Amino acid sequence: MDAAPASADVEPGGQPGEVERGAANGPLRTLIATLAMAVAFLAVGAQLVRLAMSSQGELSASLNETVAQSFARPDIVDRNGRLLATDVEAYSLFADPARVIDRDEVVEKLGVVFPDLDRTALRKDLSDRSRRFVWVRRGLAPRTAQAVHNLGLPGLDFRRELRRAYPGGKLAGHVLGYVNIDNKGVAGIERYVDEVVGVESVQGATLAERPPVRLSLDIGVQHAMEAELAGAVDRYQAKGAAGIVLDVTTGELLASASLPAVDPARPNMSLEPERLDKVAGSTFELGSVFKTLTLAMAIDRALASPETIIDVRNELKSGGFTIKDLHPLRRPLTVAEIFLHSSNVGAAMLALQAGPQRFEEFLRHMQLLDSMKTEAGSVAAPQLPPRWGEVETITASYGHGIAMAPLQFAAAASAIVNGGRKVIPTFVKPAADAGVAEIPLISAATSEKMRVLLRRNVAEAAGTGKRAEVPGYLVGGKTGTAEIPGAGGYREKAVISSFLAAFPMDKPRYLVFVLLFEPKATKDTAGEVLASRNAAPTVARVISRIGPLLGMLPTQATAPGASGLAFDASSPAKYEAR
């Protein structure tokens, strides 16, 4: 007999009806579990919203602090490709206050590594545990970073960043300028790189891929100028000095130096008043070098020629002032002699012959009265007389009562010797195919006559510039000794001695302008502070050093067949065109 089949609704050992009750309670348990999970998720979500709203500002600040933007910069090189500025990888130290165990220990031990550390400020920063990032010191040298690492302090760490390095130290510091803590250009050529060339925003230590920026400077010429200026400051006990080497055919600056110098790696040095750039960042009354322009004006405007005789025997009186010569000859002088003997009376009479309006117009035509700018920044604006009357015309004729940056004056003086063409100073090497603008400021004939006068002033025994002579280079130039204005008038025995030179004068290529600030009367200068005794011999030393560096040997300057003017050393007043 077959067994009856077991019912599917009855479990072994169970009673009929229990399965039906369990099946009915299943949907209820599922609903309860679902509701419980929903309530839990809602609670978690509400808590997250509350935390986000209550700490939104702190979270944002913390994230912002950990992001350090930097800039990758192209190299800066001189005209021959020698390195002046580059980016290097450096370590920057930061702290995570939440991980710092003993803030006092951190402050005290870091204070040993960094003696100038602001301990109070750091202790305050480390006390804020809600912050996760605090800069301690950026741009550390490897040895310093290793010293901090050896401390083994929890909560300290490093980031790699780019830092600007200047292999030449203070060399050309004023021209190069400097960058800020984020490697962004602030002054000088570094600022020009940001504004014109371009830099790359980076995180970390990613080097730029841009080609280097090639300057017109020549490291060798720059070093020679700075060395000779430093020697002159010591020799003549001066408070400072400045110097320029300018290519009068292209406007390229091969050297621009100002002492005391600045270190581009230490930007704060540039803020010290005595370290301001004296070449382009300051203005000065330049004294008798200005007579170069006064005579050029008289000759170019056909008011006089080098042979014109001017009666300078009497002192000149105007507006209650008396103008006289330092070493009067007590006889009429030719215009050439006015230049050679640096006669204030003669220069004033030539300017008065032109009149205030024509004299002012000539100076403006020579680009001396308007603002100027170079790649290294704006040049200090000239300080002009409030009005151009008779007195102002007289004093300006010999370089007083009008002040300008030496660089601006050098640009105008270049036109005096280069055939009359306008020169625009530049610190950036022009492209090989770049042309030179032919903008005449004075006639070629006037330029030729002025070159003869400048050469005679050095070659002749009577010239004030005879101590600037360098055999074989046909140097020509003009002295300037300007009293420095002070409270209530000009300061006695406080002068700026300067010498403006060009070489070779048969076909000028380079202009050299040197200024010494408040030199002292010494035994070497026979107790005088005149430019003929200090600035002129300094220029001679500069030219003798830079001539060979520029590929111009002394024998080349006087080689047969040289174009332009040939000067007879035994009788410099005679010349002939070849």
Which whole number is the average pLDDT over 238-253? Answer: 97
The closest alpha carbon to 420, from 504, 361, 508, belongs to 508
Q: For 468, which DSSP code?
A: G
Q: 179-205: per-residue pLDDT in tens?
A: 999 999 999 999 999 999 999 998 888
The DSSP string of 162-222 is EEEE-TTTTTTHHHH-EE-TTS-EEEHHHHHIIIII--EEESSSPPP-SPPEEBS--HHHH
Q: With contact defined as beta carbons under 8 Å apart, do 84 and 168 qualify?
A: yes
Residue 110 is encoded by which pair of tokens?
A: 């870091």
H/E run at residue 362: helix 356-365
Question: Is there a domain that residue 127 lies in?
Answer: no
Q: 525-557: per-residue pLDDT in tens?
A: 999 999 999 999 999 999 999 999 999 988 654
Pairwise pLDDT comparison (39 vs 286), residue with the higher score: 286
Residue 546 is encoded by which pair of tokens?
A: 């830079």
> Per-residue pLDDT for 572 more than 90?
no
Distances (CA, A) of 339 to 262, 502, 514: 37, 16, 19
Res 6: pLDDT: 43
Half-sphere exposure of 333 (CA within 13 A, CB side): 23
Q: Give residue 13's identity as a one-letter amino acid code.
A: G
The closest alpha carbon to 410, from 292, 532, 295, belongs to 292
Q: Give residue 243's identity as a one-letter amino acid code.
A: G
Q: 58-77: per-residue pLDDT in tens?
A: 444 444 444 557 899 999 99
> Per-residue pLDDT for 138 more than 60?
yes
Cis peptide bond upstream of 260, omega within 30: yes
Neighbouring CB atoms inside 10 A of 143's CB total 7
Question: Is there a domain that residue 32 lies in?
Answer: no
Q: 466-478: per-residue pLDDT in tens?
A: 999 999 999 999 9
The span from the CA of 469 to the CA of 203, in Å, is: 56
Indicate the pLDDT class of residue 245, thresholds 50, 70 and 90.
very high
Neighbouring CB atoms inside 10 A of 228's CB total 24
Query: Rounded to the nearest 5°, which phi and psi values hold at 75?
Result: -65, 155
Which of the residue ranges 6-10, 91-95, 311-315, 364-368 would you say has the lowest mean pLDDT? 6-10
H/E run at residue 491: strand 489-503
Q: Give residue 382's identity as a one-letter amino acid code.
A: P
Which of the residue ranges 58-62, 451-455, 573-577 would you say has the lowest mean pLDDT? 573-577
Which whole number is the average pLDDT over 210-231? Answer: 98
Beta bridge partners of 377: 374
Burial class (CB in 10 A: 0-12, 13-18, 19+), 415: buried
Average pLDDT, the chain: 88
Burial class (CB in 10 A: 0-12, 13-18, 19+), 44: exposed
> Per-residue pLDDT for 438 more than 70?
yes
Which of the residue ranges 13-17, 360-364, 550-554 would you say has the lowest mean pLDDT? 13-17
Q: With contact defined as beta carbons under 8 Å apart, do 171 and 263 qualify?
A: no
Which whole number is the average pLDDT over 15-20? Answer: 48
Res 70: pLDDT: 85
Pairwise pLDDT comparison (128 vs 237), residue with the higher score: 237
Pairwise pLDDT comparison (40 vs 305), residue with the higher score: 305
The DSSP string of 260-301 is S---TT-GGGGGSGGGS-TTTS--B--GGGGHHHHHHHHHHT
Query: Rounded to the nearest 5°, which phi and psi values hold at 287?
Result: 75, -150
Indicate the pLDDT class of residue 26, thresholds 50, 70 and 90.
low
Which whole number is the average pLDDT over 493-506? Answer: 96
Residue 161 is encoded by which pair of tokens?
A: 């960043």
Residue 257 is encoded by which pair of tokens?
A: 């130096």
Q: 381-410: per-residue pLDDT in tens?
A: 999 999 999 999 999 999 999 999 999 999
Q: Give residue 34's identity as a one-letter amino acid code.
A: T
The CA angle 234-239-244, to the nearest 5 degrees, is 85
The span from the CA of 292 to the CA of 347, in Å, is: 9
Catalytically active residues, by annotation: 288
Beta bridge partners of 35: none
Burial class (CB in 10 A: 0-12, 13-18, 19+), 435: exposed
The CA angle 219-220-225, to the nearest 5 degrees, is 95
Question: Is there a domain that residue 212 lies in?
Answer: no
Which whole number is the average pLDDT over 30-51? Answer: 73
Distances (CA, A) of 37 to 40, 41, 413: 5, 6, 90
Region of 447 please: left (phi>0), alpha (psi -120 to 50) or beta.
Answer: alpha
CATH of the domain at 287: 3.40.710.10
Pairwise pLDDT comparison (27 vs 363), residue with the higher score: 363
**Dihedral sign, Cα of residue 223, residue 229, residue 233, residue 238:** negative
Region of 172 please: left (phi>0), alpha (psi -120 to 50) or beta.
Answer: left
Q: For 249, which DSSP code?
A: T
Q: With contact defined as beta carbons under 8 Å apart, do 345 and 400 qualify?
A: no
Q: With contact defined as beta carbons under 8 Å apart, do 393 and 415 qualify?
A: no
The CA angle 252-256-537, to the nearest 5 degrees, is 110
The span from the CA of 499 to the CA of 534, in Å, is: 9
Which whole number is the average pLDDT over 368-380? Answer: 96
Question: Is there a domain that residue 348 lies in?
Answer: yes
Which whole number is the average pLDDT over 153-167? Answer: 93
Indicate the pLDDT class of residue 561, thresholds 50, 70 and 90.
very low
Residue 175 is encoded by which pair of tokens?
A: 């021209």
> Per-residue pLDDT for 56 more than 80?
no
The CA angle 130-135-139, to the nearest 5 degrees, is 165
Domain of 498, in residue numbers: 219-577
> Per-residue pLDDT for 568 more than 60?
no
**Dihedral sign, Cα of residue 46, residue 51, residue 52, residue 54:** positive
Q: With contact defined as beta carbons under 8 Å apart, do 525 and 475 qualify?
A: no
In the chain, the number of structural domains is 1
